[in-house]
Chains A and B, each alone.
Chain A
Amino acid sequence: MTGITGGTPSMLPAWGGGAVPRNEPLLAVEDLHVEFATRQGAVKAVNGVDYTLEAGETLAVLGESGSGKSVTAQAIMGILDTPPARVTRGRVLFRGTDLLGLSEENRARVRGRRIAMIFQDALSALNPVFTVGWQIGEMFRVHQGASRRDAERRAVELMDRVRIPGAARRLHDYPHQFSGGMRQRIMIAMAVALEPELLIADEPTTALDVTVQAQIMELLTEIQRESGMGMILITHDLGVVADAADKIAVMYGGRIVEHALVHDAYRAPAHPYTRGLLDSIPRIDRKGRELHAITGLPPNLLDMPPGCSFAPRCPYRQGDCAVEAPPLHRIGPTRGSACHYWREVLDGSHG
């Protein structure tokens, strides 16, 4: 276990993490498919996801529960339970290297050091029987061979950085002795310990009080800006997206149905589902009016219908929608929509 530069150069072109050769994006997910083997059959949780992320950028991934946001993130991270999960197709290019093609050993070298992840529920994500200092310091001890004292000292620094009051005193406390917000700060400290190039945050604030949510988001964006890492922010909260993210990717039924720069999407969505999501945000200027919740049920991942998977719930639906699956139409250099009638949606000619 040596430092960050312990890889095989021939397999990992940009291993050093310094200058980026060619114009490789930090992360490019291409045509990713993930299935779960279950008693009822294959659950097609991810059905062709594409997105890219540059260093220093934040991509917000939106979509209702079950749309495949977490599964996609876990596939990138390589922490899916296999079996039952299986990546059936696609590539995950990290600085040009396909992570899915790496041996488990080489993959573990990327995990934690170069790509880190934080989870929704910090209480269950932290090990209840070890102190937080031990869990943070483990990153330094295992990955860099740091001594116990050195690891502790650096753990305190990190806890200070994520603004845990009295960090040095709380080093030997256990996760259950912290509040929800403080626990999530500890998760963040652990994730950014080795200064990863990419941070995946899977609903980092969903389990927290509203006031605490804002603080955690502020901390995340601050760290992201200071360190210049890329961030994938999975969230249900459309409110935080506008402030924190550069671009969004909207998932539905295991696909990206729209991707765009945040302000483009907010100004005029190009997919009926995105429009439905945006219409469901309570806004001050719409106070008193009914929210446009999207009616109907998410698609059955065991038996995906032919044609557009959003068709049963779509107000823009036309005859051919249920027959022919829409490809991801390229709308501009930074934008795509998986809808046959994206022009109509963009013009807002409907609802």
Chain B
Amino acid sequence: MGRYVIRRLLQVIPVLLGATFLIFSVVFALPGDPIASMAGDKRMPPHIVAELTERYHLDDPFLVQYWHYLSGLLQGDFGETFAGGGVSEIIAGKFQVSLNLALTALVMETVVGVGLGFYAALRRGRAQDTLVLAATLLLISVPTLVTGFVLQLLLGVELKRSTGIDFFPISGAFDGWRSYLLPGFVLAGTSIAYLTRLTRTTLAETLRADYVRTAVAKGLPRRRIVGRHALRNALIPVVTYLGADLGTLMGSAVITETIFNLPGLGQELFRSIYERQQPVVVGIVTLLVLVYVLANLVVDLLYAVLDPRIRYE
């Protein structure tokens, strides 16, 4: 186990190097002159252009710029915007919002998706199973924009008006964890559907495995056969999906953030690309990659806990 963990940790280094390099070169290659666009319609005085170019190392060769960026990153510094603010400060607060939102979505996805998948797998081919499958299909096919607005209207606005209680606050991130309930569910929507299907399929498959037949032949109670012998094996792909989904949830929440007025990374990324704030774009994408890589690391470690065949490779 120890050797597996160390090897897996070492693998993170080249992945991060490669990913940051890729991000940096893509943003570097974006067309347009950031300094010219700062000035808008007016022409910028040459000495200011020269100063800004100097300050942001814009004249340096690509690799040197990348090196500046990387060494800053290692000290937790995401660089500066062209307006002079620290990127780290800008994205820190947004990151917190996005993380809260993504974690809320992840918890809902796990509880609802795994629960429903489990329920359907144990009733395969029966009416309840078909119903669950139909519901997931609906969830997948309705766009987030629609579920977002509909739920906001029904559970956010109407429910509050008819009962007088604000069960699901929908105005920004001011109500603590409760602000994230509804947007979290909306964001989790398609993931819930996919996870339900994944859980159902893997558990149903596992229930037909030879070792489950052995467990039956051993005369074990059904609860133990499903809850111990099948579940442990069925969880392996589910955990993988969940880990990969954390990064996706954080990076793809633009629509949900906008509907529910949550100041997260998605909105900020969208704005920065629009305004050609390359340092912010690079910063956010780097952060998302970091989350992604770390989540996958956790998944791989969990994997080793769940499956001894990996541990002893």
Instruction: State the A residues within 8 Å of B (CB).
Output: 77, 79, 81, 108-113, 116-117, 119, 121, 124-131, 138-139, 142-143, 174, 176-177, 187, 190
Contact B224 A127, beta carbon cutoff 8 Å? no
Instruction: State the B residues within 8 Å of A (CB).
Output: 208-211, 213-221, 224, 229, 232-233, 306-309, 312
Contact A81 B308, beta carbon cutoff 8 Å? no
Contact B217 A112, beta carbon cutoff 8 Å? yes
Mind listing 24 A-B residue pairs with CB under 8 Å? A79-B213, A79-B217, A108-B219, A108-B220, A110-B219, A111-B217, A112-B217, A112-B218, A112-B219, A117-B217, A119-B210, A124-B209, A124-B211, A125-B211, A125-B214, A126-B214, A127-B229, A130-B229, A130-B232, A138-B218, A142-B221, A142-B224, A187-B214, A190-B218
Contact A109 B217, beta carbon cutoff 8 Å? no
CA of A269 to CA of B221, assembled, Å:
44
CA of A111 to CA of B224, assembled, Å:
15
CA of A138 to CA of B233, assembled, Å:
17
The main secondary structure of chain B at its interface with chain A is helix
Candidates B208, B215, B232; contact of A81 at CB < 8 Å = B208
Closest-by-CB residue of A relative to B305 is A129
Given A124-B210, A126-B211, decide whether A116 and B217 contact each other with a Cβ distance below 8 A. Answer: yes
Given A124-B210, A129-B233, decide whether A174 and B308 contact each other with a Cβ distance below 8 A. Answer: yes
Given A142-B224, A174-B308, decide whether A129 and B219 contact each other with a Cβ distance below 8 A. Answer: no
CA of A131 to CA of B309, assembled, Å:
11
Contact B233 A111, beta carbon cutoff 8 Å? no
CA of A210 to CA of B307, assembled, Å:
31
Residues of A contacting B307 in the complex (Cβ-Cβ under 8 angstroms): 128-129
Residues of A contacting B306 in the complex (Cβ-Cβ under 8 angstroms): 129
Given A129-B233, A142-B224, A174-B308, decide whether A109 and B210 contact each other with a Cβ distance below 8 A. Answer: no
Residues of A contacting B209 in the complex (Cβ-Cβ under 8 angstroms): 124
Contact B210 A108, beta carbon cutoff 8 Å? no
A108, A112, A129, A143 — most chain B CB neighbours (10 Å) = A129
CA of A20 to CA of B212, assembled, Å:
33
Contact B216 A111, beta carbon cutoff 8 Å? yes
